[in-house]
Amino acid sequence: MISHRFRLLLPVALIASAACSGPFIPQEPDIVDVTLSAPAHQVRTALIQVLTDDGYAVQQEDDHNVTTSYRKEIRGPWDGLLRWRFGTGRSRVDALVTATDEQTTRLRLHAQYEGKDGLLTRWEDSPTPLPQSANNQLRLIKNALHLL
């Protein structure tokens, strides 16, 4: 009787586990490339302020490149362990600020988001949530520059 039930449950378990796994679906990069009518130093200052206010640690490599470390998603003594081991999501931003002339600046934002759902899984590229998306970052930068 037990072996008969086992023979019925085994195929169901295999089908269920195969249904949960699937091929990796590549995500489109979350990139915004715009020209803003503001001087480069004002755009850079607004960019750094917006990213800092959003929980990113900002590093300015040179006059053009601004990068961040992973955003602090959770604040607390166990946040590193929670993100590294159990995961949820983590995001970072790379930006390129280029002056086209004295009053216009080209801004290229690249928001990267990775997610994981368990202890033994790896971080994988995931769709960027709206609050961390490049479009939302651009909206906040324009708001800081009073360009809306």
User: What CATH number does the domain containing 56 carry?
Assistant: 3.30.530.50
Residue 8 CA to its chain's centroid (Å): 43
| Distance separating alpha carbons of residues 113 and 131, to the nearest angstrom | 11
Q: Examine residue 6 and state whether it is found in any structural domain, yes or no.
A: no
Q: Examine residue 133 and state whether it is found in any structural domain, yes or no.
A: yes
Q: Which residues contact 29 (CB under 8 A, 6 or more apart)?
A: 110, 112
pTM score: 0.74
pLDDT by position in tens, the chain (length 148): 556 665 666 566 656 555 455 555 567 889 999 999 999 999 999 999 999 999 999 999 888 999 999 887 666 666 666 656 666 788 999 999 999 999 999 999 999 998 877 767 788 888 988 889 999 999 999 999 999 7
Number of domains in the chain: 1
| Distance separating alpha carbons of residues 142 and 146, to the nearest angstrom | 6
The token pair that represents 116 in the structure block:
């994981």
The token pair that represents 68 in the structure block:
């961040």
Q: Examine residue 13 and state whether it is found in any structural domain, yes or no.
A: no
Q: Residue 99 in contact with residue 39, Cβ under 8 Å?
A: yes
Q: Examine residue 19 and state whether it is found in any structural domain, yes or no.
A: no
